[in-house]
Chain A
Amino acid sequence: MIRLGPRQEGQSAPPRGRWPRAAAVLALAAVVLVLSGCTAEIAQPFSTIAPQNEKTEDIQNLYKITFWASLVVFIGVQVAIGYTALRFRRRNEDRPEQVHGSRKLEIAWTIIPAVILLVLFIPTAQTIFDHANDADRAAASDETFRVNVIGKQWWWEISYPDIPANPDDPEAGPIVTANEVFVPVGANVLFSLASNNVIHSFWVPQLSGKMDLIPGHDNKMQFVAEKPGEYWGECAEFCGASHAWMRFKVNVLPREEFDAWVAAWRTPPAFDANAETADVAEAPPAFGACIACHRVSGTNAQVAGQGIAQNPGYVDPATGEPVPGPGPNLTLMGCRDTIGAGILENTPENMETWLKRTDEVKEGVYMPNYYKQGLTDEQIAELVDYLESLRPADGCPGDDLLVGSEVAAPVIEAQDPNEDPGEDPQ
């Protein structure tokens, strides 16, 4: 260890007592911990340094250049400081030579950093313009796979403007999902990012850098989905109470699986409580509370609005009460991996937890807790059955998807739905 410890003249002796030694031991312990941490295999699904396509490879290369340049400068400066500190300790009363500066040296260390920065700036600008041009080209091309994203508090509405919900009925609008983006492998994906509430930021670290969703602006983000797999994304701009629980997934599927997913989305659910009364499948009666905000494609639950023009959910300034807006489209809900934008794994138990303790599981959520407002256990069980049944009979497309990167798929732990929900706020 380098001893930068002070030595003093006169009144007080150099302190080499117990305390500095304890500090040294502590520091050593910290170093050991740090090193053991480095070697430990920790799955990091949001890692920014595990690029999975060309765009993130570009960023990674720039990062490497910057990192190594920084490391060299860092070591150089620290060695200079350390060496100076050790070598020029005060040893006697002599006054050191009174140097006031050196024009040559100062010019040198003005020019050298300038050169390093210029070297850094050239690839930086190059990559900025390359990525911008890629996005522009994608916007101009017909081959582009377009996805519209609307950030909500605290979930994502995903729609596919080029994939109609019903090919025979142009009025039915596009396919809409929530919190899961499905993309065929090899597609040049162009996201149109918008918000009608607060600012969010759309970020899939392994496929692209982040881009903000700003009300009034239509931001674009482009990347090529090169490898099949599931890639985790998250909101990166603070957006209120449950900012931490606004995660999503990009599922890059082989072409045939993607087509199977589109077909599955368009097929009405198998569960059909009242098949004979109408030509559309009907949701169970308890779902009546949900259809003001949620849609299930191919059923009578088609009331709730979708798209940018809808009330996003807000707090009434006059009363301070939340006013909910349309919620996630629940078509193929049984196939979703998570509930509540990444907060719970999608299992029947967790669905029950979600319905019974909504506001505790996800703070600030606009969805009312109807269990507290009077839905019975039986009605909740019926809803859980219904929601989990919203999946194709022959399994979910892409279920066997391998994770594209080296990172493990996150496992989201289950919670006991009947755990004491705490005191009733009413």
Chain B
Amino acid sequence: MATAIELQPETAHGAGHDAHGGQGHADHPPTSTGLNSRKMLMWLFLTSDTMFFGTLIATYMSYRNRSIELGMPPYPNEIFDIPYTSVSAFVLLMSSLTMVLALSAVQRGDNRGLRIWIAATALLGAIFVGGQFFEFTTFAKEGLTLDSNIFGSSFYVLTGFHGAHVTIGIVWLLSLLVVSLRGGIPAEKAADVEIAGLYWHFVDIVWIVIFTLVYLIPYADGPEEAVEAAPEAFLRVLTLGDRLLTALPF
């Protein structure tokens, strides 16, 4: 450690990070934070994706009881088959477990385990998407379409957006599977699997939120109750301060 490196060419600090994780590569210096740049990128993307889903969910929530309020069927509480969707939600949750097992396999350098668990994850994801497709066609038969009422519009766009996320995840996992079949993924490239896993877990967690807010929380029983839960409910939170502000001496 006693060499002055003045006048000597420097390292590839800052370049070429998008193909290699940096982690485990001797020719890449550690980053300023010590975190892998690609993993950080995925975390940032997920932050962004949270806002995507946040907007979709907020919109759904503000229109939640609108169709009931207006008397425009089909109504959500009549059309949902909660046991069915619970099963597919459970399938998706299980895929997070297999994803963890896949990552653990690749970190051990166990390529066979990796293939099995990645394939299982993709399969479980495919079962979920297939289930969603079946659910959508059933709903459509019962008259709920994208343009049948505001419930249909906000429901299909929200769950469809999530389904598209799962689909992209499956394609990603299958691509990793192909890479693993054509020579394997070494343990030092485990970050490739880990990043896909981050995405996959996020999509699962989002489904838990959607499943709770869209399916599980009861809907209004009739138009009167629905009016109470009218849109811009998130702004109504502010009216809680009404008494406080009107009580002020001005």
Q: Report A-B touching, CB under 8 Å.
A: yes
A-to-B contact residues, CB < 8 Å:
122-123, 125-126, 129
Q: Does B15 contact A (CB under 8 A)?
A: no
What's the Cα separation between A122 and B245 when bound, in Å? 11
Starting from the known contacts A125-B245, A125-B248, A125-B250, 6 additional A-B residue pairs (CB-CB under 8 Å) come to: A122-B250, A123-B250, A126-B250, A129-B245, A129-B246, A129-B250
B215-250 contacts to A (CB < 8 Å): 245-246, 248, 250
Cβ distance B244 to chain A, nearest Cβ, rounded Å: 12
Residue numbers in B under 8 Å from A125 (CB-CB): 245, 248, 250
Residue numbers in B under 8 Å from A126 (CB-CB): 250
Residue numbers in A under 8 Å from B246 (CB-CB): 129
Q: Which residue of B lies closest to A129 (CB)?
A: B246
Cβ distance B247 to chain A, nearest Cβ, rounded Å: 11
Q: Which residue of B lies closest to A122 (CB)?
A: B250
What's the Cα separation between A58 and B186 when bound, in Å? 74
What's the Cα separation between A266 and B246 when bound, in Å? 45
Residue numbers in B under 8 Å from A123 (CB-CB): 250
B26-74 contacts to A (CB < 8 Å): none
6 A-B pairs within 8 Å (CB atoms) are namely: A122-B250, A123-B250, A125-B245, A125-B248, A125-B250, A126-B250
What's the Cα separation between A122 and B249 when bound, in Å? 10
What's the Cα separation between A112 and B174 when bound, in Å? 61
Q: Secondary structure at chain A's binding surface: helix, strand, loop or mixed?
A: helix
By CB atoms of chain A within 10 A, which of B245, B246, B248, B250 has the most? B250
Q: Which residue of B lies closest to A133 (CB)?
A: B246
B147-197 contacts to A (CB < 8 Å): none
A-B residue pairs, 3 tightest by C-beta:
A126-B250, A122-B250, A129-B246
What's the Cα separation between A122 and B248 when bound, in Å? 10
Residue numbers in B under 8 Å from A129 (CB-CB): 245-246, 250
Cβ distance A357 to chain B, nearest Cβ, rounded Å: 40
Q: Which residue of A lies closest to B246 (CB)?
A: A129
Residue numbers in A under 8 Å from B245 (CB-CB): 125, 129
Residue numbers in A under 8 Å from B250 (CB-CB): 122-123, 125-126, 129
Cβ distance A394 to chain B, nearest Cβ, rounded Å: 50
What's the Cα separation between A129 and B243 when bound, in Å? 12
Residue numbers in A under 8 Å from B248 (CB-CB): 125
What's the Cα separation between A123 and B246 when bound, in Å? 13
What's the Cα separation between A123 and B249 when bound, in Å? 11
Q: Which residue of B lies closest to A126 (CB)?
A: B250
Cβ distance B236 to chain A, nearest Cβ, rounded Å: 15
Q: Which residue of A lies closest to B231 (CB)?
A: A216
Cβ distance A339 to chain B, nearest Cβ, rounded Å: 39
What's the Cα separation between A126 and B245 when bound, in Å? 10
Cβ distance A159 to chain B, nearest Cβ, rounded Å: 25
B75-94 contacts to A (CB < 8 Å): none
Cβ distance B162 to chain A, nearest Cβ, rounded Å: 28
What's the Cα separation between A129 and B249 when bound, in Å? 12
Q: Which residue of A lies closest to B242 (CB)?
A: A129
Q: Which residue of B lies closest to A216 (CB)?
A: B231
Cβ distance B69 to chain A, nearest Cβ, rounded Å: 12
What's the Cα separation between A126 and B250 when bound, in Å? 6
Q: Which residue of B lies closest to A128 (CB)?
A: B245
What's the Cα separation between A129 and B248 when bound, in Å? 11
What's the Cα separation between A405 and B223 when bound, in Å? 48
What's the Cα separation between A371 and B246 when bound, in Å? 60
What's the Cα separation between A126 and B248 when bound, in Å? 9
Cβ distance A318 to chain B, nearest Cβ, rounded Å: 15
Cβ distance B53 to chain A, nearest Cβ, rounded Å: 26
Cβ distance B211 to chain A, nearest Cβ, rounded Å: 30
What's the Cα separation between A129 and B250 when bound, in Å? 9
What's the Cα separation between A129 and B245 when bound, in Å? 9
Q: Which residue of A lies closest to B250 (CB)?
A: A126
What's the Cα separation between A27 and B121 when bound, in Å? 72
What's the Cα separation between A122 and B250 when bound, in Å? 8
Cβ distance B225 to chain A, nearest Cβ, rounded Å: 20
Q: Which residue of B lies closest to A123 (CB)?
A: B250
Cβ distance A200 to chain B, nearest Cβ, rounded Å: 20
Residue numbers in B under 8 Å from A122 (CB-CB): 250
What's the Cα separation between A125 and B248 when bound, in Å? 10
B2-36 vs A, CB cutoff 8 Å, 1 = contact: the mask equals: 00000000000000000000000000000000000
Cβ distance B139 to chain A, nearest Cβ, rounded Å: 26
Q: Which residue of B lies closest to A127 (CB)?
A: B250
What's the Cα separation between A290 and B194 when bound, in Å? 71
Cβ distance A239 to chain B, nearest Cβ, rounded Å: 23
B111-134 vs A, CB cutoff 8 Å, 1 = contact: the mask equals: 000000000000000000000000
Cβ distance B226 to chain A, nearest Cβ, rounded Å: 15
What's the Cα separation between A285 and B250 when bound, in Å? 63
Cβ distance B150 to chain A, nearest Cβ, rounded Å: 11
What's the Cα separation between A96 and B75 when bound, in Å? 74
What's the Cα separation between A393 and B248 when bound, in Å? 58
Cβ distance A290 to chain B, nearest Cβ, rounded Å: 35
What's the Cα separation between A213 and B250 when bound, in Å? 30
Cβ distance B154 to chain A, nearest Cβ, rounded Å: 16
Cβ distance A317 to chain B, nearest Cβ, rounded Å: 13
Cβ distance B128 to chain A, nearest Cβ, rounded Å: 36
Cβ distance A214 to chain B, nearest Cβ, rounded Å: 12
Cβ distance B33 to chain A, nearest Cβ, rounded Å: 26
